[in-house]
């Protein structure tokens, strides 16, 4: 559906909240890669450490997968513009996404390939959604950069799907750990591409090897140590999110039954009470600062999926809406000379607004959650 034929609605208060989160994350973290023109990237901390010359530059810590989720959020904002009747804004976000995708490749030593298959799965998902945004706007021709990303990243994910341990994806090039963080997003990516057979094999492996009948949740992974299998039983919210997303994308009867049960388990076991409402727990800063945002993105998709039963959709809708409300209520502001003060959001629902230095991941997570809430129908 092109932008011209897409139904639109006036911006709601939830759209305005998402736009404020976007404005603040952009103001605090976004900029060029060093002095390279026409580049765009997010630095991982605000303010930049003393002596830092760039937004990550070609030295220092490189968070490939954080940038992939930043790209996902930029696409969210573009789709919001389309939804609220702003095609010019959507076009600007699509172009921003193009610059960001190119800059990720540039910063990653001019290649798409990374040592971690979960990193590449996240970028495959985000770049696929960027292509969808272009098509929604009416640009039907795939760009060379997007074709290159899709081709290289998908090939890498397929190469990590082996018969070792019965299936699933390896986490890294060390090939000693198969886990949910790589297998879940790869299954979702393949389902979106229409390769439902391989996607279903990956999901079936997760349910055979890493799903806990006791909790109803997906565990972390299986390590190979000296030829022995060692279960890593950790439970992380983002693993539930990608598996849920893959199940909804597959859409067959078994997948929808699994999706409904997974939403119920998330509600029962991954929530906490804040202000009289059950909201999703978060996982602090660092990489964990993105985990709950990923779950919320896919809960919103479940809430809007007509194939799921109404009770499941309502549970998903409530979790998204109440978590977004708790993060919004906990906001603070950060004085920035010469510009409108950016809004900052708590690391956990019900917690205090943080003070500098600020990490990108929890602020990007809040933006993701608020974008998800704005999509609820």
When pLDDT is cut at 50, 70 and 90, the band that residue 140 belongs to is: low
Inform me whether the pLDDT recorded for 213 exceeds 90.
Answer: yes
Question: Rounded CA gap, 154 and 131, in Å?
Answer: 15
Beta bridge partners of 272: 279
- Return the structure tokens found at 43: 């630095």
Q: What is the mean pLDDT of residues 303-309?
A: 98
- Using a 10 angstrom Cβ sphere, with 0-12 exposed, 13-18 middle and 19 or more buried, the burial of residue 225 is exposed
Inform me whether the pLDDT recorded for 18 exceeds 60.
Answer: yes
Judge contact between 325 and 277, C-beta under 8 A: yes
pLDDT at 141: 58
When pLDDT is cut at 50, 70 and 90, the band that residue 54 belongs to is: very low
Q: What is the mean pLDDT of residues 144-165?
A: 96
Q: Using alpha carbons, select from 2, 11, 18 the residue that is nearest to residue 331.
A: 18
- Using a 10 angstrom Cβ sphere, with 0-12 exposed, 13-18 middle and 19 or more buried, the burial of residue 204 is middle
pLDDT at 58: 54
When pLDDT is cut at 50, 70 and 90, the band that residue 336 belongs to is: confident
Question: Rounded CA gap, 268 and 38, in Å?
Answer: 46
Q: What is the mean pLDDT of residues 179-192?
A: 98
pLDDT at 143: 82
SS3 217: coil
When pLDDT is cut at 50, 70 and 90, the band that residue 337 belongs to is: confident
Question: Rounded CA gap, 30 and 42, in Å?
Answer: 4
When pLDDT is cut at 50, 70 and 90, the band that residue 365 belongs to is: very high
Mean pLDDT of the chain: 94
pLDDT at 59: 62
Question: Rounded CA gap, 236 and 51, in Å?
Answer: 35
pLDDT at 1: 59
Find the helix or strand (DSSP H, E) in which 223 lies: strand 221-225
């Amino acid at each position: 559906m092109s932008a011209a034929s897409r139904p639109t609605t006036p911006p709601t208060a939830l759209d305005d909240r998402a736009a404020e989160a976007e404005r603040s994350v952009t103001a605090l973290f976004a900029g060029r890669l060093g002095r390279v023109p026409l580049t765009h990237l997010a630095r991982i901390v605000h303010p930049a450490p003393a002596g830092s010359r760039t937004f990550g530059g070609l030295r220092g810590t490189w968070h490939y997968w954080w940038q992939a989720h930043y790209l996902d959020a930029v696409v969210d904002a573009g789709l919001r513009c389309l939804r609220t009747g702003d095609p010019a804004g959507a076009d600007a976000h699509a172009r921003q996404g193009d610059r960001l995708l190119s800059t990720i490749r540039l910063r990653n030593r001019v290649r798409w390939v990374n040592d971690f298959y979960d990193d590449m799965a996240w970028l495959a998902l985000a770049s696929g959604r960027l292509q969808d945004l272009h098509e929604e706007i009416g640009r039907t021709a795939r760009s060379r950069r997007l074709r290159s990303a899709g081709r290289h990243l998908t090939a890498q994910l397929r190469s990590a799907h082996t018969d070792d341990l019965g299936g699933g994806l390896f986490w890294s090039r060390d090939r000693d750990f198969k886990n949910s963080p790589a297998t879940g997003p790869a299954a979702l990516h393949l389902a979106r591409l229409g390769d439902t057979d391989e996607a279903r094999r990956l999901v079936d492996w997760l349910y055979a090897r890493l799903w806990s009948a006791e909790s109803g949740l997906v565990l972390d992974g299986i390590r190979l140590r000296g030829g022995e299998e060692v279960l890593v039983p950790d439970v992380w919210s983002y693993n539930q999110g990608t598996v849920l997303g893959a199940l909804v994308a597959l859409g067959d009867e078994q997948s929808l039954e699994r999706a409904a049960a997974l939403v119920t388990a998330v509600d029962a076991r991954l929530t906490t009470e804040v202000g009289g409402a059950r909201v999703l727990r978060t996982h602090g800063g660092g990489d964990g600062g993105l985990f709950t945002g990923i779950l919320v993105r896919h809960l919103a998709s479940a809430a809007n999926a007509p194939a799921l039963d109404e009770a499941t959709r309502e549970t998903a809708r409530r979790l998204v809406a109440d978590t977004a409300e708790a993060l919004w209520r906990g906001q603070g502001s950060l004085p920035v000379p010469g510009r409108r003060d950016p809004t900052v959001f708590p690391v956990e629902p019900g917690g205090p607004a943080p003070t500098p230095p600020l990490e990108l991941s929890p602020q990007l997570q809040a933006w993701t959650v608020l974008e998800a809430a704005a999509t609820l129908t």
